[in-house]
Structure 1
Amino acid sequence: MNKARRISFVILGGVISGIAISLYLLSGFGPDPFTVLADGSSQAIGVSVGTANLALSFLVVVVGFFLGRKFLGIATVINFIIISPSIDIFMRVFDSMVNPDSSLLIRIVFFVLAYFMLSLGTALYLSTDLGISVVDLTPVMVSKKTHIQYRWCKIAFDVVVVISGFLLGGAFGVGTVFAALATGPLIHWLRKRLKPPLERFFNKET
């Protein structure tokens, strides 16, 4: 039951993250950092953003297998399977509600929602201790090896990813800069507060 509860929260976190990424793209302010790279890659090779995200995720997992396999786990696999398809699915679902042609107020509301949802989704699955998702694998490995706080490693990783994606022609905007600088700290804050109650829930006897 303990493992089943943890897995259910990994799935929940993955779905929430997929929704968040789709809203980032649709709001038109610029997507989250990793999606900038996925968007740039999708334009370079002529595939959907979700497919490009899947290909990049696979590449990161392969590198992680050789450099930090202890961080890989069932959460890595679940996020790998869920998030990329979710991006394409939820972009179609929410396209009628928000898109770059929507009013500024609607776009701002959905952008802020995306920011909180992506941070929450990431904090949820990280709290399960079942492995690290593709997006967070690199900053987590660097944090563990250098003993630098995760939030700073996340910011540095996001900046590098944004620059790489921008050079490939990926969507970029003020929202991307905000996400690169602010997502790591919010994930760190949420994780510290969610971890204790979630651990009690995971270990609760039924």
Structure 2
Amino acid sequence: MSKFNIKNYAIRIGFFLVGCFIIQLGVAFFIKSSTGVDSFTIFMQGLSNLLNITVGQANILVMGTVFIGMLIFTREYIRLGTFLAVITAGPFLDLINLALENVGIAALPLIVRLLIVAISCVVISIGFSILKSANLSVAPTDQLPLIIVDKSNWQYKWVRITMDVICIVVGFTLGGALGLGTIITTLLIGPCIQYFLPIIEKKATQIIPN
């Protein structure tokens, strides 16, 4: 591999890891706000309660399980980012959760905590846009609905809604946090990603060498 290509790949990996860390930063603030979280985090919280593990460890378990399934059935969808997400997202989340342990976010007035959730949606959207601009694929759990759509020809929106509902029902049943924050994340994250993704991808093309 030439020096030029090594530099390109190294920058892409850097983008991916920075984006992954920023996403988990937003997720950690979701959790600490105690106002409810997004559908996947509700599922992770429920799983962590069931198995008596951290939310980050639950993240690794779920992503690792989906990754193994992809190795067996849909190996063609796996790229470096798929693997990086499995080994970094959970530890990043646990590290940030630990750092925020004594900040006391849950004791703040509800309106302030809801504002934190809204800001966290923007943070996650920026992080996802940075991660996506690396063009190394995304986390296995984000790949899963895309794979289902490709294999079934079902509409993405219905696949995603079905998965979100399953995550919320199972996660909430197991003790995950469902609340006003869940509604905020559902309404804000999609539009925020739609806004930031083209802006950050344009900037990324100016930084990442061809």
CA deviations 1:79-133 (Å, max 9, x no partner) are 2222111222111212333432222243123212221112221222122221221
- CA drift at 1:40: 0.3
- CA drift at 1:46: 1.2
Whether 1:79 and 2:85 are equivalent positions in the alignment is yes
Give me the whole-angstrom Cα distance separating, in 2, the residues matched to 1:98 and 1:123.
29
TM-score (norm 2): 0.85
| Paired residues for 1:117-156 under 5 Å | 117-145=123-151, 146=153, 148=155, 153-156=159-162
Number of residue pairs aligned between Structure 1 and Structure 2: 203
Q: Pick from 34, 37, 49 the counterpart of residue 40 of structure 2.
A: 34
Shift of the 139–181 alpha-carbon distance from structure 1 to 2, 3 Å rule, reads farther
Give me the whole-angstrom Cα distance separating, in 2, the residues matched to 1:91 and 1:35.
13
Shift of the 66–193 alpha-carbon distance from structure 1 to 2, 3 Å rule, reads farther
Q: In structure 1, what is the equivalent of residue 120 of structure 2? A: 114
TM-score (norm 1): 0.86
Q: Pick from 172, 187, 195 the counterpart of residue 201 of structure 2.
A: 195
Question: Is the CA contact 2:118–2:188 (under 8 Å) kept in the aligned structure 1?
Answer: no
Q: Pick from 157, 161, 170 the counterpart of residue 163 of structure 2.
A: 157
Q: Select the structure of larger CA radius of gyration.
A: 2
Give me the whole-angstrom Cα distance separating, in 2, the residues matched to 1:141 and 1:196.
26
Whether 1:2 and 2:8 are equivalent positions in the alignment is yes
Q: In structure 1, what is the equivalent of residue 59 of structure 2? A: 53
Q: In structure 1, what is the equivalent of residue 107 of structure 2? A: 101
Shift of the 178–70 alpha-carbon distance from structure 1 to 2, 3 Å rule, reads farther
Higher mean alpha-carbon deviation, 93-102 vs 43-52, is at 93-102
Shift of the 183–156 alpha-carbon distance from structure 1 to 2, 3 Å rule, reads farther
Any idea what SS the aligned residue of 2:102 has? coil
Shift of the 70–180 alpha-carbon distance from structure 1 to 2, 3 Å rule, reads farther
Shift of the 171–53 alpha-carbon distance from structure 1 to 2, 3 Å rule, reads same
Any idea what SS the aligned residue of 2:147 has? helix
Whether 1:177 and 2:183 are equivalent positions in the alignment is yes
> In structure 2, what residue type is equivalent to 1:8?
G
Q: CA RMSD in A?
A: 2.3
Shift of the 177–104 alpha-carbon distance from structure 1 to 2, 3 Å rule, reads closer
